[in-house]
Chain A
Amino acid sequence: MDDPFVGGDSREVEKVIAKFAGDSGDGIQVFGAQFTLSTAIYGNDFAILPEFPAEIRAPAGTTYGVSSFQIQFGGIDILTPGDSPDVLIAFNPAALKINLGNLKPGTLIIINENEFDEINFKKAEWKSILQGEENLDDILAKYKTIKVKMNDMVVEALKDLDISHKDKIRTRNFFALGLISWIFDRPLEPILDFIREKFSKKPILQEANERALKAGYNYGETIEVSYRIKKIKIKKYSFEPGRYRYISGNEAFALGIAALKEKISIPIVFSSYPITPASEILHYLAEMRNFGIIALQMEDEIAAVNSAIGASFAGALGITATSGPGLSLKSEGINLAVMTELPLIVIDNQRSGPSTGMPTKTEQTDLLFAMYGRHGESPLIVIAPISSGDCFKAIFDAARLAIKYMTPVIILADQYLATGAEPWKIPNLDEIAKIDGKYWTDTKNFLPYTRDENTLARPWVKVGTPGLEHRIGGLEKSNIYGKVSYDPQNHDFMVKIRAEKIRRAQNDIEDLEVYGPPDAELLVLGWGSTFGHLREAVITSIEKGYPVAHAHLRYINPLPKNISEVLKKFKRILVAELNLGQLLLLIRGMFTVDAVGLNKVTGTPFRIVDIKYAIERELINLDKEGKLSKHIKVETGKEEKGGELKYAVN
């Protein structure tokens, strides 16, 4: 974005990236959510990235206590929360300090000047300022800075109200919201609605916050004069008509399960154990008792998966949700569901590992674990939703496949999808197809391991049905009869038939689509949550005239039927993922194609520049190797560099 903030008239821009950062105790996430809602109602597309400190109550003012919220919004299809912000609101020195490394010159920075004092510089351990080596103004010289004494402003605006000084100071978030609403021309109504609802029992606080919000908005008019800052008009996005809401991945999972309950003919048992970043799913579902939803909190991850399996054996659909460490503990249980061929859904919100790792940071490092992290040959279906809203659909896809193929399904989401949010077009609930949890009922011809001709699934019996009493378990069973069997031929057969069964699920999944020009020579291949980032980078590369395309896997196992055909069309496949090359290993192992990796494990999503740079580098390489059908001129993305990513060829 080229400097829309300064100048004569207010300008209209396509998109903006804003970031709000402050102390985790300061309500930054509420601030972000409110701004997001008014942005949605204004009519922009957006994507957000909330970031939380690891500690629940980190000491105030410290860098590790900073909580932040980034939003990209605009009049075009917004696919990611964006890289570096155009506008940063820093509520204290710590918030400014940790963001400086990622700011472009010219960024508009708004600081609450009241908090930029010696005490807070100390808390932020800002040595260069404390020791007088540099001062704040020098540091901020490269940027456009608005210093606002927010505390003073709200105290002044509320001076005649009979509330404590502390309560007055607390309203400063709404002051800042008012100011930012003015800058971006957002409506105040949704925020006013929120204030009225939140403080409905305390009219005086309602009054105070309303006043602070309006004071912030009015302050905008004065900065227009004193800083020559202009109101920014942002183009509206022409959404497809329909009803929209703002949804996080965890909300989408929970709502998906609630919707599934209405659409499925059998009971659902959700059983889980608290773990970051999946606990929210349990919270939402526990709240929904009046929907008849059974959400259990078990004593551990192991009990959670095993009780879900027990429920599935009884004739319900067992669902559990976890993150990496929990998936490790669930391995044995998932294997039991593979062996007993029972439906089961396991949601894995991947987070940085190994071990406890960085629980609040994102990564795609469980892919091979989901595929192979169980003893024995243990195939199952792996679905990787590509956006927060897609988590809703993933529940339905998982349920359909789990029941149809009598198999566990792992849904590989991650922290970014789980806690990030986007505007989501609400599907028409009436149009979602019902799911039939068909049980076997024929008492005459029942054998527990007979198989459906097409799907190879074994029959599912509702426990309690007279005449169908049978026994299954973790020991290998003879095909058809389901008796304990140590027969070598039978085991060989069963191992293969379990694998073949999962392969046949290919018949029920979408083909891999390619986005890009027909003459593209480089394919960027990704999976799961990186969809938005890869697509955005590929779109801008195509705009530059580069022969590049994007394909994105939503199913890791089985892979789409046409994948081999798609991959073979390209000179090179750039497999981009937030790990050290796990999908790359699979692709290289399964297909004879020229595949290289773009990998990063920083605990954060890709930055668009990193991907663009990798695309350019790879095109230059292909050109040098004489593999492109025509010579192209590639400008390297050097001027955009400065990121933490070193492009790596695996």
Chain B
Amino acid sequence: MLSTEVKGEGSPQQVLKYTPKDFDSGETVRWCPGCGDFAILNAVRQAFAQMGIPREKFVIVSGIGCSSRFPYYMNVYGFHGIHGRAPAIATGIKVANPDLSVWVVTGDGDGLAIGGNHLMHAIRRNIGIKILLFDNRIYGLTKGQYSPTSVIGQETKSSPYGVIERPADPVLLALSQKATFIARAIDYDIKRLSQIIIEAGKHQGTALVHIYQDCPTFNDKAFEDFAGKEVMSEKTIEVKHGKPLIFGKNLDKGIVVKDGKPHIVKLGENGITEKDITVYDETDFYLNFIIANMHYPAFPEPIGIIRRVREPTFEELLYMQIEDVKKRKGVGNLEKLIYKNSWEVKGGDNSKKI
């Protein structure tokens, strides 16, 4: 049993005692054995149990795809929508009731192909929804076609001679829309993933969490080269606000940003010490952009919270504007509005407008 006092979005500060089990809907989970979605499901249940938000305030909205079955497995309010439209559905929910903690579960096909437009606009508006984008670089539910994040040369059922399209980068897409919260995580890295989910849950505004998710059935070990257990500490870098960009099993490597470009350096070599390493600032858009542009194999793959800033959310501005206009114009008077330019007809005769 966990007891937390985290102030969740829109919820009164309170002590709630939940275990991950409390978020299990009891539904049989139907992903393939070994699917990365299981780990993410565990991480989400753990995170939700710790967030101090009453269970009934959570809503999970999804689109179509393997990941989009997610809501059925969580004992909260859930809406399994249609392909690509989850951010739009979630926007309606959040606007109707800003007090709810609204989550979108989507995939690389659902979120970046058919639903790319909605994803972009949700981020641009900074509406208070949390988007978990499960990226397995493949279409799983339709049995193995290439997706917008598939890499060049990837052989799939619909690209038997190799993909010739350049992959989409969801983190850069989010940055281009000045997202107020962007993070990246790896499916089986449950501890860090659930921590990121908690942070996303606390964030006011749109949060995008890009999760590398293994699909053993159609794109096995796609991330093994940098996310495999053996290599993760060497081939990824966890960015932390206010901390130097250091990585490696022995914490012996770092990133120095110079002339607008990242450079890998070795601590102790050429007189480099920790002081020379760039300190990460999650609010610095230019630094966020430079780090988000780093990808394996040229660089360690960045994970962690890449960007976080507090800006007014869409729902805050909407409800503020309503109050503001009420103050400026006076609370709307329906009769006055309907009766504008009206005239009175008295028994048979037509007299003047009043």
- A contacts, CB < 8 Å to B: 37, 40-43, 190, 236-246, 255, 258-259, 262, 267, 269, 271, 288-294, 296, 298-300, 302-304, 306-316, 318, 332-333, 335-336, 340, 426, 429, 463-475, 483-484
Contacts and interface: CB of A to CB of B under 8 A. Distances in A.
B295 interface: no
B331 A302 contact: no
A469 B77 contact: yes
A314 B55 contact: no
Interface of A is mostly: mixed
B77 to A, nearest CB: 5
A306 B56 contact: no
A9 to B, nearest CB: 23
Most chain B CB inside 10 Å of its own CB: which residue of A242, A244, A468: A244
A290 B91 contact: no
A313 to B, nearest CB: 5
A241 B344 CA distance: 7
Given A313-B89, A469-B56, A303 B121 contact: yes
B176 interface: no
Nearest to A310: B92
Nearest to A468: B56
A33 to B, nearest CB: 10
A637 B350 CA distance: 37
Interface stretch (B36-44, B79-87, B217-225, B298-306): B79-87
Contacts of B90: 310
Nearest to A189: B352
A315 B79 contact: no
Contacts of B97: 267, 314-316, 463-464
B345 A244 contact: yes
A245 B338 contact: yes
Contacts of B275: none
Interface residues of B, number: 67
B161 interface: no
Contact of B81 (A298, A306, A469): A306
B93 A313 contact: yes
A290 B350 CA distance: 34
Interface string B61-101: 11010000001101111111110010111111111110110
| 4 shortest interchain CB distances as A-B pairs | A473-B80, A310-B92, A43-B350, A291-B332
Nearest to B70: A471
B269 interface: no
A298 B76 CA distance: 27
Contacts of B59: 314, 463
B92 A307 contact: yes
A316 B100 CA distance: 13
15 contacts: A245-B338, A255-B337, A259-B334, A267-B97, A289-B326, A290-B326, A292-B332, A298-B88, A303-B121, A306-B89, A306-B118, A311-B96, A464-B57, A467-B56, A471-B25
Contacts of B13: none
Given A310-B91, A464-B56, A472 B80 contact: yes
B339 A299 contact: no
A433 to B, nearest CB: 16
Nearest to A427: B338
A293 B325 CA distance: 11
